[in-house]
Chains A and B, each alone.
Chain A
Amino acid sequence: MAVCRVNPLTLSTVWHALQSICREMRHVVDRTSQNYLIAQLHDVSVGIWDARARTVAIPIGLSVQYLGGKLSVEYVLNKFKGNLNPGDMILVNDPYKGYCCHLPDWGFYRPIFYRGELLFFTMVRAHQMDTGGAYPGGYFPNAYDIHAEGLCIPGIKVMEGDREREDVMELILNNVRWPQGVRIDNYAQIAATRVCEQRVTALLDKYGKETVLACLEEMMDRTERAVRATIEKIPDGTYYGEAATDDDGTELDVPVWVRCEIAVKGDTLTVDFSKSDKQRKGFVNCVFNTTFSNALSALFMFMDPGLGEYHNEGSLRPITVSAPPGSVVNAQYPATVGASPVSMGHQIIESVVMAMSQAMPERAVACWGKRYEHYFFGLDPRTNEKYVVTTFDIAGGAGAVRGFDGYEGAISIGALGEVNRGNVEEVEARFPWRSLRWEFATDTCGAGVWRGASGFHWEVENVGGDAGMATGSSDGELVRAPGALGGEPTPNSKAFLIRGSDTSQIRAHRLYEVKSGDVIRKISGGGAGVGNPAERDPEKVRWDVINEFIGIDKARDTYHVVIDPASLDVDIEKTSMLRSSQGKA
């Protein structure tokens, strides 16, 4: 091990302090924002970068919002070269110029100066309840181009000297629905960056600039060594993964594919997406930042779990991500990108996970339940005010990993459990929707030696006036995400609109009218499995049957475990016969 340039104790303190600051920033947003999606469901990310846009601390968030944040910080640095001052607050959401993901994710960036010198950047990015455009919510298909998807904000200063530029904010907020609410969420984000500035300044006061900066170098070098050590252990070679989204929302029922080749050579790793489909008319296009961030997130899942909160610039050094311009994973202006955090964004992760599970079978990971949510928007008759609401309640739980079943309830392969589901009591009090049912649905988990977590039966009734429904933030009706080592892929999801005695199927990536009294029913697929299900411990299968995660038929047909319907005991004889005959076949 190289000689440490700083006292190891100072290093450890500084390293942890920077992580704590990020957690505290998120806490401030959590406590003060008003958007259901941000405050309750945690669609928010934070991070710290240095004055050269190198990644310093990225312990928590949604991958597309922050892992590739260095690209975005670099943009701000270049754009405002020579014109950055203490107390500046810069707002960016432009995916093309500003390396963001899609328009509802607004990022607030604060340069942090110490004794007149720019040393750090902090950023808080969160999903706004509205960003203008043709429909509320930001996940609607068939927009003409990105301008129809909403307000596209390049880097602009919304504060100078810690004072709001009121005319600028007015122009922005005049172009969104619910300007009062968005203003509160913006203040919450700004407050979090201010807290970061205070804490980082205190850290610099305490240890001195030279020491803190020396710690950064040491932190980056150490994570780099640890990541290289993991890659080094992977046999050199090329590993392939692929995944698809149902369609692009414009050209319906034609899956769109992302394909990746991961080349491992010594202690370096290259992810090449050049075999992916071309850029589309529909809204599943990913800008490079989205692809870069998601590839990193997927790779981090395979690193030493102890590195989790410690990743930084050093982790990025041994890794190269390439995606050809004009492809669906490096779309060019003015392609629409609305659904890309979910549709295509998640598939990028899935393809990398599939490839890496072959490269590192001892750490195989199966894909998580696909996002199967939507936006409702309409009028709340109780207050006569417009509302928009989305949720994370419906998507199935986590995929299995080698050694463990999928984590029930955990959500989103793009956020790895950092976003949350809601409370029925909160939703009913706030929005004119009544929950009829929300529980695990039997036989919705991907089978395996280690099975995926369950999907859900979710059903609500519109007790407000007529409303709109955008199903853009869902996927997985046609396509399935891969399991690993012979485990079953994610089961498909389906949804229905029930009006009186009529039940009709509704589909992802569309817009629907929902009348007062209509019922929406969704059955989501859960996580994928790891390993051949016919090798799962029969005792575990029995408990899954008793707990109604798995039906008796599925136990027999997929797991090759015969359960007596009366006693719910394993029929050992029939099971071993079934398992051995399958083994021979």
Chain B
Amino acid sequence: MYRACIDIGGTFTDCLILDTQGSLRAFKVPSTPRDPAAGMLNGLAVAARGYNKKPDDFLRQIDLIVHGSTLATNALLTGRGAKVAMLTTKGFRDVTEIRRGYRNVRTSMFNLFIPPYKPLVPRRLRFPIEERTLYTGEIVTPLNDGEVRQAIGKIKEAGVEAIAICFLHSYANKANEDRAAAICREMADGLYVTSSYQVLPIWREYERFSTTVVSATIGPIASRYLNRLGDSLKQQGFKGSLLMVQANGLVETPQESIRRAVYLLGSGPSAAPSAAAYCGRITGKDHLISIDMGGTSLDVSLIRKGEIPMTTECWVGDERVAIKMVDVHSAGAGGGSIAWVDSLGLLRVGPQSAGAEPGPACYGKGGEDPTVTDADLLLGYIPADYFLGGEISLDVDLARKAVQKVADRLRLDLLQAAQAIHTTVNSFMADSITEISTKRGYDVRDFALIAGGGAGPIHGPALAERLGISTVIIPRFAALYSAFGMFAMDIGRDYARSYHSRVDRVSLEQVNRLYDEMELEAQAAMKSLKMPKGEVNLARTAELRYVGQFHEVEVPMAAGKLTEHHVKEAVAKFHKRHQELYTFSMNFRAVEFLNFRLKATARKAAFQLEKIAQGKKKPEGSLKRRRTCIFNGKSFNTPVYDGERIRAGNVIRGPAIIEEQATTVVVPPAFECSADRFKSYILRKRK
């Protein structure tokens, strides 16, 4: 039997197959954005050929497909989501357009010349419904069924595909939302219906409503895609399970992915930190910075003590998404990022990208702007004749012509300009990393850098040098980084409940009831995912804050029946964490609980990377050629090694280049690179 992890990105569909012997093989095919399912089937067909099998035979032998797709993110970012209507509490129909007054999400306060935010649901499709619940859960105004029915009538006329039900304080009592949802299902069969309690049962209506509307915008698209994909796979003989990568770093069934579609955001990139954590485990590092540098963007995340970082403060495009997601910070820096000179005379790189079409100037597809890849080519880092294993041949003259434009404006010579582009993008990436690490108070120098994505192994080492990081790990499947991460992901689901109470007045009965409730739900869900009870791991956390504060700090909670002792323990952890995060704690101040969370996970069957043959310290027989490379403005006659011939234990002193089929590893002069038995490259700063 085989297992497949398939990551559909904007340019390529990455396909990693694991066989029964535990060895992995990689396949890369072009994506087919118009019909992503076709690209996926094509990828599987190519893989089948790789194993000398007919596609349907091969599919029959796959028992699990884990799938990540940028479908949801793209639909949201390009405004191609479904048409949504809202049912919302009368008197409050503009919550998602007022959006708490946020204007400067991605711009300076002094920039007034921006178009106003365009809400996903226009005002005319936000239908006010008479109903009202209080923060205590008390219903002061029952749902007016007649108004719901009237609204649905209008919604059907308007050609809407999805309904989002968003009532005030529904986190405290979902009865009115549930009743409205029942009426919708009865009257508007075929429409996608969701409610704010179902998506995110947490207080603060703007954040909850916005997330719910996003979920409804994605829902019908996810539903169409996943149903079609499921059908096609079945038709071609697939009998195994299909699981989708979720924003929260877990995998889920297509059915649940459709129900809470917002969790499909970041499906793909959210797998990368799992790849990093896995590499960290096999190399013995647990403080990691993971970078995934592709053609247009850089995804960064910071992993501490082997734990994947999570956030509830995300903006996706112009939308606030408040579910707990893997904290992957995206920035516009990739191989295709365009270099330009701004009005202050500063060299900038990105966020504009040449993308796949026309691509960097050196692709020769009509691109004229200088990009990071053009600079890398001129610096000698990437081979003109072996880019993507020779699939694309690069034109050095075109790269020269493009980079010269920036050189002229900066009054630098060509190679200085190429060096400047390379360094600027690294420095921009370094800023992105500093932002997510310093915000949490961590010193980047205590971390190892894991460099994935097509361009990651080229820039990772220089980036590390800049940040003072002494170890860089380049995973064997760096170029299929997210797909690789999918093998390392857990199956599971997470849960949350709001219960606001001071720790000295908290009802333990209530807390125990909430955890019991979530655990029962989790057990049932895991059963439906065919996970044996014994293998399910239930991790509890609680969010606490000082009375009066507005933001919480999350701490772990004990399992089982909770007692006063456990509450005290949680409070002690809270004080400590507050001190770590913000330089002070306040023992004199009362503390309160806000949210209780549960994460239910099960490990997929373990897999072992195939080992490579052991070699000597000297990389004998793998020297391919030599070429001139520029490092920090100096030319070096640099040895170039063939990655296919590298053996475990080989040690390569920088400066050196290792050409892999899907990427190039750059070893700067200050580093020494060794290959381990799983063929990770580990670069260490030379003493």
A548 touching B112 in the complex, CB below 8 Å, given contacts A223-B344, A438-B92: no
**Binary per-residue interface labels of chain B (537-559) against chain A in the complex, 1 for a CB within 8 Å, 0 otherwise:** 00000000011111100000000
Binds B, one of A49-57, A83-91, A429-437, A473-481: A429-437
Distance in angstroms between the alpha carbons of A59 and B550 in the assembled complex = 24
Provide the main secondary structure of the chain B interface.
Answer: loop
A9 B420 Cβ-Cβ under 8 A: yes
Does B423 sit within 8 A of A, measured CB to CB? yes
B108 A305 Cβ-Cβ under 8 A: yes
Provide the residues of chain A in CB contact with B345, threshold 8 Å: 1, 4, 8, 222
Contact residues of A between 294 and 315, Cβ < 8 Å to B: 297, 300-301, 303-311
Contact with A419, one of B101, B123, B343, B410 (Cβ below 8 angstroms): B101
Contact residues of A between 340 and 374, Cβ < 8 Å to B: 363, 365
Min CB gap B210→A, angstroms: 11
B344 A226 Cβ-Cβ under 8 A: yes
Provide the residues of chain B in CB contact with A199, threshold 8 Å: 438
B589 A184 Cβ-Cβ under 8 A: yes
Distance in angstroms between the alpha carbons of A549 and B113 in the assembled complex = 22
Min CB gap A543→B, angstroms: 8
Provide the residues of chain A in CB contact with B203, threshold 8 Å: 423, 425-426, 429
Distance in angstroms between the alpha carbons of A195 and B438 in the assembled complex = 9
A180 B589 Cβ-Cβ under 8 A: yes
Interface centre among A188, A363, A404, A408, by most B CB within 10 Å? A408
Provide the residues of chain A in CB contact with B427, threshold 8 Å: 9, 12-13
Contact residues of A between 1 and 60, Cβ < 8 Å to B: 1, 4, 8-9, 11-13, 15-17, 20, 24, 27-28, 30-36, 39-40, 59-60
Does B134 sit within 8 A of A, measured CB to CB? yes
Interface centre among A59, A420, A423, by most B CB within 10 Å? A423
21 intermolecular pairs with C-beta atoms under 8 Å apart: A17-B434, A24-B439, A31-B551, A32-B578, A32-B584, A195-B583, A222-B344, A223-B344, A303-B110, A305-B110, A398-B112, A407-B103, A407-B117, A410-B102, A410-B103, A423-B206, A425-B171, A438-B91, A440-B94, A440-B123, A547-B122
Does A255 sit within 8 A of B, measured CB to CB? no
A34 touching B113 in the complex, CB below 8 Å, given contacts A428-B135, A436-B91, A547-B124: no
Does B606 sit within 8 A of A, measured CB to CB? no
Provide the residues of chain B in CB contact with A15, threshold 8 Å: 346
Provide the residues of chain A in CB contact with B284, threshold 8 Å: none
Q: Which residue of B lies closest to A436 (CB)?
A: B91
Q: Which residue of A lies closest to B96 (CB)?
A: A409
Does A405 sit within 8 A of B, measured CB to CB? yes
A435 B107 Cβ-Cβ under 8 A: no
Interface size class of A (residues with CB under 8 A): 35 or more
Distance in angstroms between the alpha carbons of A546 and B204 in the assembled complex = 29
Min CB gap B394→A, angstroms: 25
B168 A404 Cβ-Cβ under 8 A: no
Contact with B94, one of A27, A33, A306, A439 (Cβ below 8 angstroms): A439
Distance in angstroms between the alpha carbons of A194 and B102 in the assembled complex = 28
Does B401 sit within 8 A of A, measured CB to CB? no
B423 A306 Cβ-Cβ under 8 A: no
Provide the residues of chain A in CB contact with B582, threshold 8 Å: 28, 31-32, 188, 191
A408 B97 Cβ-Cβ under 8 A: yes
Provide the residues of chain A in CB contact with B605, threshold 8 Å: none
Provide the residues of chain A in CB contact with B111, threshold 8 Å: 305, 308
A181 B548 Cβ-Cβ under 8 A: yes
Distance in angstroms between the alpha carbons of A131 and B104 in the assembled complex = 30
Distance in angstroms between the alpha carbons of A437 and B128 in the assembled complex = 11
Provide the residues of chain A in CB contact with B424, threshold 8 Å: 9, 12
Does B99 sit within 8 A of A, measured CB to CB? yes
Top 9 A-B pairs, shortest CB-CB distance = A308-B108, A417-B103, A34-B548, A437-B91, A305-B111, A39-B550, A410-B103, A547-B123, A409-B98
Distance in angstroms between the alpha carbons of A13 and B548 in the assembled complex = 37
Contact with A548, one of B98, B124, B343, B550 (Cβ below 8 angstroms): B124
Min CB gap B123→A, angstroms: 4
Contact residues of B between 116 and 171, Cβ < 8 Å to A: 116-117, 122-124, 134-135, 168-169, 171
Contact with A311, one of B110, B113, B439 (Cβ below 8 angstroms): B110
A546 touching B124 in the complex, CB below 8 Å, given contacts A8-B420, A184-B548, A226-B343: yes
Distance in angstroms between the alpha carbons of A422 and B434 in the assembled complex = 30
Does B497 sit within 8 A of A, measured CB to CB? no
Q: Which residue of B lies closest to A459 (CB)?
A: B91
Provide the residues of chain B in CB contact with A118, threshold 8 Å: none
A363 B113 Cβ-Cβ under 8 A: yes
Distance in angstroms between the alpha carbons of A11 and B424 in the assembled complex = 11
Provide the residues of chain A in CB contact with B438, threshold 8 Å: 20, 24, 199
Interface residues of B (CB under 8 A from A): 91-94, 97-104, 107-117, 122-124, 134-135, 168-169, 171, 203-207, 342-347, 410, 420, 423-424, 427, 430-431, 434-435, 438-439, 441, 500, 546-551, 578, 581-584, 586, 589
Min CB gap B119→A, angstroms: 8
A392 touching B101 in the complex, CB below 8 Å, given contacts A9-B420, A187-B584, A549-B123: yes
**Binary per-residue interface labels of chain A (400-421) against chain B in the complex, 1 for a CB within 8 Å, 0 otherwise:** 0101111111110001111111
Min CB gap A122→B, angstroms: 14
Contact with B116, one of A11, A405, A459 (Cβ below 8 angstroms): A405
Distance in angstroms between the alpha carbons of A208 and B516 in the assembled complex = 57
Contact with A309, one of B108, B547, B584, B586 (Cβ below 8 angstroms): B108
A415 touching B410 in the complex, CB below 8 Å, given contacts A34-B550, A420-B100: no
Does A578 sit within 8 A of B, measured CB to CB? no
Interface centre among B92, B93, B111, B205, by most A CB within 10 Å? B111
Does A424 sit within 8 A of B, measured CB to CB? yes
B113 A305 Cβ-Cβ under 8 A: yes
Min CB gap B475→A, angstroms: 28
B206 A191 Cβ-Cβ under 8 A: no
A27 B548 Cβ-Cβ under 8 A: no
B551 A439 Cβ-Cβ under 8 A: no
Known: A17-B431, A423-B206, A546-B124. 17 other contacts (CB 8 A): A12-B424, A30-B551, A33-B549, A191-B582, A300-B110, A307-B344, A403-B113, A409-B97, A409-B117, A416-B110, A417-B104, A419-B101, A420-B101, A425-B168, A426-B203, A428-B134, A548-B124
Q: Which residue of B lies closest to A366 (CB)?
A: B112
Min CB gap A92→B, angstroms: 21
Distance in angstroms between the alpha carbons of A429 and B135 in the assembled complex = 6
Provide the residues of chain B in CB contact with A528, threshold 8 Å: none
Distance in angstroms between the alpha carbons of A181 and B551 in the assembled complex = 15
Does A158 sit within 8 A of B, measured CB to CB? no
Min CB gap A383→B, angstroms: 10
Provide the residues of chain A in CB contact with B168, threshold 8 Å: 424-425
A398 B586 Cβ-Cβ under 8 A: no
Q: Which residue of B lies closest to A409 (CB)?
A: B98
Provide the residues of chain A in CB contact with B342, threshold 8 Å: 306
Distance in angstroms between the alpha carbons of A421 and B343 in the assembled complex = 34
Contact with B586, one of A184, A415, A546 (Cβ below 8 angstroms): A184
Distance in angstroms between the alpha carbons of A416 and B582 in the assembled complex = 28
Does A124 sit within 8 A of B, measured CB to CB? no
Contact residues of A between 438 and 455, Cβ < 8 Å to B: 438-440, 453
Provide the residues of chain B in CB contact with A27, threshold 8 Å: 439
Q: Which residue of A lies closest to B551 (CB)?
A: A31
A423 B92 Cβ-Cβ under 8 A: no
B115 A39 Cβ-Cβ under 8 A: no
A8 touching B91 in the complex, CB below 8 Å, given contacts A20-B435, A403-B113, A415-B109: no
Distance in angstroms between the alpha carbons of A270 and B589 in the assembled complex = 51
Distance in angstroms between the alpha carbons of A415 and B103 in the assembled complex = 11
Provide the residues of chain B in CB contact with A398, threshold 8 Å: 103, 112, 116
Min CB gap A63→B, angstroms: 9
A425 B204 Cβ-Cβ under 8 A: yes
A439 B92 Cβ-Cβ under 8 A: yes
Provide the residues of chain A in CB contact with B547, threshold 8 Å: 34
Contact with A191, one of B98, B122, B205, B583 (Cβ below 8 angstroms): B583
Provide the residues of chain A in CB contact with B135, threshold 8 Å: 425, 428-429
Distance in angstroms between the alpha carbons of A303 and B113 in the assembled complex = 11
